[in-house]
Structure 1
Amino acid sequence: MEAAGLMNQFPCLIIRGICDYSDTHKNKEWQGYAAMTAAAYTRDLLHQIQPSKVNIETKLIEFVNNECLRQWPDPPDPSVNFNKAIELRQAGSGQWLLQDSRYLSWKNSENSLLWLHGIPGCGKTVLSTTIIQYLEKEEMFLYFYFDFNDTRKQTLENMIRSLCYQLYRNKASQRHLDELTFLMMIQEAGKIYVVLDALDESSTLEDHHTRGLLSWIGSFRSSRNSVRLIATSRPEHAIQSQMDAWAGVIPVPLESHLTEGDINSYIVARVGQLSRWHARTDIQDEIIFALSSKANGILPGSSNLKKSTLKSLLRTLDQTYSRILESVPLDHRHYTIRLLQFLTFSDRPLRIEEAVDAIAVNTNEKPYFNPEDRMPVPEEVLSYCSSLVAMTNRRGPNARYEIKGFKELSLAHFSVKEYLISDRFQQDDRMKDVGLDFLETNARASIVKVCVAYLLGVEALIYRSPGVSAGKFYHLMFAEEGEKTVIQQEYPIAQYAAKYWPEHARLAKNIGEAKSLIWDLMQSAAYYINWALYDPASRFFRTQPGVVFFAPKVYYATLFGLTWLVEGLLEDGADVNAKGDDGTALNVALDRGHGEILHLLLQAGADADAPNEDGDTPLHVVVRRGRGGMVRWLPEHTTYIGAIGSTVADGITLLQEGVRDGHVKIIRQLLEHGADINGMNLDGTALRWTVSHGNYTIVQLLIKYGADLDLAGRYGGIPLQAAVHYGHGNIVQCLLENGADADLVSKDQGSTEIFYWLCQNRDKLANENIFNERNTPLYLAATYSDEKMVQQLLKHGADINAISTNDNSNETALEGALAGGHIEIAQQLIEHGANVDARSKRHGSALYQAVTKGFGHIVEQLLDLGADPSVAGTLHEAVSRGHEGMIKQLIDYGADIDSYSEAHEGTPLCAAVCANRNEIVQLLLQNGANVNGTELSYGFALHQAAMGGQVTILQQLLDQGADVNVTGYNDNRTALQAAVFHGRHDAVLQLLQHGAKVNETGNQFDGPALTIAAAEGYSEIVHQLLEYDADMNAIDGSEGTALQAAASHGRSEIVQLLLNRAADVSLAAGNIE
């Protein structure tokens, strides 16, 4: 308590401990001692810590937040690769690039991409590391290394995770966790530099199922103009093609003359480290000359050089690697091969402790593993093939602090893996025996034997040891000490073995002797150890104290695709219908596409109707996954096939499922086994769905099997409507040629069960537009300007004058074409006899639309064919848009010049005044327009001209006899009051000169014109009105007299003017009282 204030200023863990201890022992007798203790210890602590050191320390909460974030997306750590490259890099390497004009151009250009490309070993990673080290001082800088040795560093997803974490760490104080979408985060960053090394080592460079790395890079660059990206790779075709297509790419081919300086520096430094030749500078010079002349742009892979090898210096990497393997002592060769097999075919590097245990396994006899066989010094594992393997010190989230004892082994270079799995290696006579060990089947089988034998060895050491009870065994498997269980701590490669042996076994295809080991594992306690370490059948941690839940053995065997093991387990009496997290083994076989296993399970009596955890039946899973080869097996074993057209949980029929994913083979199989071709859900039938998505082949197939061409789907659309709507011309033709009704409107189809259901449940549907699709196919084609479809529909007898009632608009195809501005289609419909005088609610008529769009010759054509020019709003539209020629045409053909339009709120003359079209006003007046005709909501044409100060039009109207004192029906103002209110002094004078009554009040609120002018502060208009004898003392409206109105609105100039004119002050004052 006494140190609480100090805690606020100095949140130190030690002080908090002292304070908490003292507070917990606080009582009346002890309180003084507690306070002294806290104060004394805290004082001594503060004397030992300098304030400057406190200020620079990272707050604990910030560290915890950063660590939680790092663990949340689980990003791979690129600093491991960076530090490894730094260790291997010769000081000063890559400086030439930082001074290269292409690099400088990249650095100074927005949205630029510098592409460093070259052959393996030419120094791409060294250069990218040099750039990373140089750019570290930039405020916003991100980087990532793709790595063939580590599957976590091969995918687009994990790259984004890493970049997200780096971006958050750089801007941690500005972000929130719920905003961690990379492209969203990047939007708020300023200038940003990104370095991506070894694109060619990504496993998701081009992904046909999801967006690949190259596609992502394109999107990333387009999302930000201030990004500057560096990428390194081999010049592979896919990468080369994309780089050529992108703008702003600056290619830098790493040719030998560019990297020659770096290579020579490296050679000189490494030769200088050969202690045996320190005294012989002549030999050093000879070695340097030979290596430099033969390097050809590739950094050397070995420093174990002797003078005797100079004259026969190897010319290729293959020869280099072959010689290294040949030089391995025979008694070490077996271990070398095993280590290289693991590093070549594993999805990640091996920790050095894992490698030690892998080598210590004896797969030929029991005990398979004895801890005493481990190498006493783990690092000595490198002695088996030091030139082909590299050891890296793993580092934590903060690269400055090394995690001791965490070292990883990986192949020294990508080219090592390429060599070991190449045909060249297999065909090398000197490597013939060794080469067979690196055939994928043989190598993976060997890895399986090692992994399974290790697990069996661990089981023998633990479970069969004296005094180990079931509870103790459980504790060893699940109780964590620190971050690992006891087994994980004491047997380092156990986790790897449990996780990866099934995948190696599946990929090996023929694992030979390993089968017996796997069978032993499935029948022993090692089975439980395996799934305790890694359980792929569980979506979550599934243990309770003393109880362990595992999936059935046949379930695991099916999950891994191990046919021989499934067969053996079934013969041994395994329950074929036992369930795991994803249902039965049958569900898993279908989901993973294990056809042979599926056949075995069905023969063993597996329930072909059993749903998985998502409620999908096996047949549904087959269709969704596109497992065409499996469909033929299921109908014989399922009762569900009889209801194959019925809907499933998500409302999609099996046939629709096949159609949705475009599985032609499966669709044909379903139809052959009796699927209801016209079964429907809210999307309609399978045909309706297929038509919408434009799959012509499947449309033909469904029609061949008798699909109803006129059944409606969601939004009431029939297949023909959908084909027209989505612009699939070939499908429109196909449907029409096969008898589709060209005039059918889907809402008229009331015979289908789905439509009845919709009608009965309309109140439950959120989207009521489902009932509104009542447009004819011809109307849709005309509206969407598809001339070819219009021709097809007319050819097949479509009713050219059919009404589309969507939104109750009652339009014909001609109106739809004109409304969309499709003049060619409109012309085509007119030529085919379309009714030119059809009326609709929304657009009035075809003539109205032609006038609106300004299609003069169409207007003339429609009028010649008898279109009614007096349809409400037609003449108004011509007036509003200034089509003087059309106005004359319409008048000549008998348009009512004084017609009223609700949409335009008045007569054509009012519309002309509103649009301030002097010539058209004159034209209408010359043709007899009633100057005092139907008024607008705010008055007559005269009022509009007065409000707008349109003196020319005002004069025209007055000359034609407009009533100067008429009042508008809405505000009851005169034209003079309207002009005054809007400050139009020219219009005011004009109206006064034509006899406007200066003292007319108009309505009970505004008062006479003088009061309005005084209130609004228009001194010039006040002068004008006084000159025409306006009554200064008139009391009318809500403002009182003009003097009172001026005073209440603070119009001092007008107050003075009125006083000078002898306005009655007492009258104003009395009115105020």
Structure 2
Amino acid sequence: MNHINTSRESTDNEGPMPRVPKRQRLNDMAYANGSTLAALSHDKYTVGWICALSIEMSAAVAMLDEIHQGLPRADEDTNTYTLGRIAAHNVAIACLPSGYYGNNNAAAVATNMRRTFPSMRFCLMVGIGGGAPGQADIRLGDVVVSEGVMQYDLGKSLSEGRFTRTGIMNRPPQELLTAVANLRARHRIEASRIPSILSEMLERHPTMSQSVYRNSLQDRLFDSTYDHVQSTDVPTDDCELCDISRLEDRSPRDSPNPKIHYGTIASANQVMKQVKTRDELAHELGVLCFEMEGSGVMDGFAGLVIRGICDYSDSHKNKQWQEVAATVAAAYAKELLLVIPAAVCTAAPVVAIPSVDLDRQQTLLRSLEFEQINARRSNIKPKYSTTCRWLLSHPDYLDWQDPKQAVKHHGFLWIRGGPGTGKSTIMNFAYKEAMTHKDVVVISFFFNARGESLERSTQGMYRSLLFQLLNTLPNLLTIFDASEHNKFLDDFYTATLSHQNPVWQIIVLQDLLRGALTNLGQIPLAIFVDALDECSSDQVEELVEYFEALGEDAEQNGLRLNICFSSRYYPYIDIQYGLKIKLEAQGGHEEDIAMYIRNKLRIGTSKTAEEIKTGMQAKAKGIFMWVVLVVDILKAEYQDGRIFEVKKRLAALPAELSDLFKEILARDQKNIRDLKLCIQWILFAKRPLKLEEYYFAAVSALSPDELGEWDQNDITTEDMGRFVISSSKGLAETTKSKVKTVQFIHESVREFFLKNAMHELWPNLAAADFETVSHSQLQQCCYAYFNFCVVFKAEACLSFAEKIPTASSDEAKELRSAVSGKFPFLEYATRHLFHHADIAASSIPQHDFLSFCSLEAWILLDNLFEMFKIRRHTPTTSLLHILAERNLAKLIKEALHLDSGIDVYGGRYHYPLFAALANSNHDAVKALLQTPTSPQEDDAFARLDYGSNFKVKYDQTPLLWAAARGYDVVVKLLLDKGSDIKAEDKHNRTPLSHAVWHGHDATVRLLLQHSCDAWKFDRLPLLYAVKRGNEPITRLLIEAGANIEVSPTDGMTSLLHASEAGHENIIQLLLEKGANVEARSRGRTGSSPLMFAASNGKENAVRLLLKAGVDIHAKDLRGKTSLIRAVESGREAIVRLLLTEGADIEAKDKRGQTSLIHAVESGRKAIVRLLLTEGADIEAKDDGGRTPLTHATTMGQNAIVRLLLAEGADILAKDNEGQTSLDYVGDSIHDDVLLLLHQKVGHITATDCQCRTPQTCAVEHEQLDIVRLLP
């Protein structure tokens, strides 16, 4: 294979070639795996790298060892940067705007780069160039490095056609020249690293192999006197027609590796193709290479130009070598940077921030696209002959294209015309004309009222425009990463990955488009939006305001934005700035119509014929559609040469389009049933029908006995196309888009039928009933085809019933394709059967249909055609669930007559009501609850949780859900519908418990009114009311008969809960109702109401309970009284109250501990002092014989030890083990307290039961400071 050798150098650099040490892969492919990218400050970027072409930019980025996070640009900088690192250098890479070339544009990019990165040391201009073969043996794929750059087209013209150059030789800075000399010297000693750098690049980016391998490329240099031979048919860049005998005879090189040449590079604002000029400059200036941007960069920036040779600067241009040349030049630039020392600067901390997620960008980009995104424009018939060209010379059109006039019109051109005047045709012409300008980005949207919803909405327009722009300029995808709507975009991305089909918000699309336009810089953008009248008027008004703001911003910021709208005269929306063209008033438009009539109405050139043509143009009043239709009518009339009849026929034809349509239909009464069905399907289909769908939909009604599998050899698409024309009397057509659909030939036809045409054509059909009757007809077509497939073709359609492949699997796609291939109308019939039935149900009963339609078969087929697993139905899904999910309110009402229960479980959302709520289906909610419309109920329904706000637990029934949220209207309706008031969730909570817990008084009252003993169904409601401190609900429940002594397994009665929480009003209420004041909780403590209140510091509750006669001396399971509980909890006020009320101060618990001992153990000094004041025994002992002082020393309670000693506590009191307080001294006792203990001993020689003195105790406890202090 002939490619760049990765193990040997060129003939200039023979010998073994060292490999570049392996560097870390591009952030370990950070783009792909979502790792983090480094973020540096602007001043850390010291090397600029400028490219002119996208292929040069790709090569440059591929050289980076590491990619960095993007940074904000300076205010006036319009460049787009890729930032990264090569070796020790931080590099900023920028590319000239698409379609912009030359020194001036390169200079602008370099200047902007300096604005944003003020620490730039130098700049590299790297890319492709044309070689100047001569003294140097330059070959394609070689590299030329500038020792100087000369702009050879800069100068002045003298007399006699002479031209003198005034451009000076720009030389690279010393820093770069010394680096070039260093590298050049190395190459004399060792091989260039270029092959190794390319090899490493391929490891990171294997898709760039075409940029390295040369096996299919030919390097041909023709004789300088021989020009390229161009094909007269199709212009090409190859030399297939060139005489190969005129090739220069050059000896082959020993190595395929590139040679590196050093010398002068010539720069100009045009491509060098003149061999004579090339050779003259090469001889005069020693030029090795020609290019177009180097001089612009070096005029204001210290720089070096590096060019890979892709052609020989002659007429034999060769684009095949451009990628190879760009890549090898980039590789040399990298090798050069490897030998340049890094800039000396203080290291900045690298901040780890989330990396650019290319997967996220691409997913969001793809989500903008939709199937019919270009359908309308692709279906516009081509302009006739040379029509429309008058627009190009129209003064307003020329002003619109002139940037200097933008201040007057803000880039706006609005073409208006009546129905059928040809607005879309001329817009399509203008769009295609703009597309021929390579330096302009052109995007468009053609509204289509006959298309799917996105084709006739601003959401579809914004999505389409944004998709086209980002697809054309991928660099703009960064708007997804720096948007104020990041939360929405993150959620949208996540939802898309999980196949949830999220919906774009208009405001997000508008802001993204505005952000993309702001980042365009000086790249011109033209936007064409056709048929604004085919979008709803409220949306159009907002659209125009948005684009007006864009135009104003563009004009103020110097952006090149052109916007062209077209519409009818209504709805009339004016703009402050802009140019307007009224189509019918244009002489060029009238000339187009005249030319069409002359060329299409071939009735001779007699005087009568010319009168007919003139009269026809006058009668048309600028409406091209009228002319097209009338030409066909008059041509048919002229078939027998009766020119006088043609004139009479023209006179009889109506001038209005709608009347002309009526005339066409009235003259042909054949197959009127076909026509009626055609109109119904095109007007009222849920979406435009595909050609095959339309055909079999019609057969389902016109000839159901003929239904069968589609044999494409028997019934061709050509047959179907002819049926479209015949059934519509020529007023419908098959679109030319990728997915061929059936539509009316013009929007005016659709409007004609939507008005009173149907009633006029069929007088017995009331206009008000036409839509309902039509949907009934379409439902019958769908049901007939569905039944045919299910009943008569069960084996073919339902053989997969045992297992349907995973929705997104290849097997499922193949199965869907196979079934649709045999039964083209089955998908539409299945998926929209209920839709048509629902609309028909407004006046035509659907009971029989709902009763006999096989739900099991429908679920099976709908699951087959569903591409997302999450949207498939479970086999147990109820009919109501499906109808609720689709917001089919009328069918819901009919289905409820068949089965009144709405609590049937099953389906994705478990219950029909939840399906309606989760999908924001307000009408379905009302239908399920069977409520008449009233302002109060409408307001209540509007406050329900819909869509993303709807949350429900899987174990909740609708009544449980509604009660928990206090939706009283819903609760009442559900109760009236028979919802189970005893239903429980997994925690055994009923609707009443939920309503009580959430404090919905009215809901509780409603539930109790419905069933006064609702509290009997679980034991929780009263306890919940008490725990939440809700006295009104507590009173409600008690008055309804709730048992105030009921308790769950923990024995906690209502009074115990109220006492624990200190709910005084509820305690008072419960006491009045006779609650047991001595009730005890179960478990470890066995607490009474007084104990709970005392422990928790609920003083008023304690008073209430004492007043009720509670036993103040009662003990819990641990033997603790209410006084002890208050003491250990530090409730001083309650301790004082209980002592006042006669609590036993010396009462002991099961460990023999008194209140004083508990106070000491708990460190409650104030309470210890209070108890001592009230006469507590300071020497009281517990079951172990330990006194309060012993406990204090053991617990390290220094302050309490001092207090007890001051009150005369006996230090030498011995416990059951014979030990004193000194033996229990803890590590946390302070030295001064310890000394105090020893000094308080009355007899210093006293001993304990083990005959230890205070001194020996101190020594034993290693209290050396105390030993020194004791005598």
- Normalised by the length of structure 1, the TM-score is 0.47
Report which structure shows greater RCO (CA 8 Å, sep ≥6).
2
Q: Which has the higher helix share?
A: 1
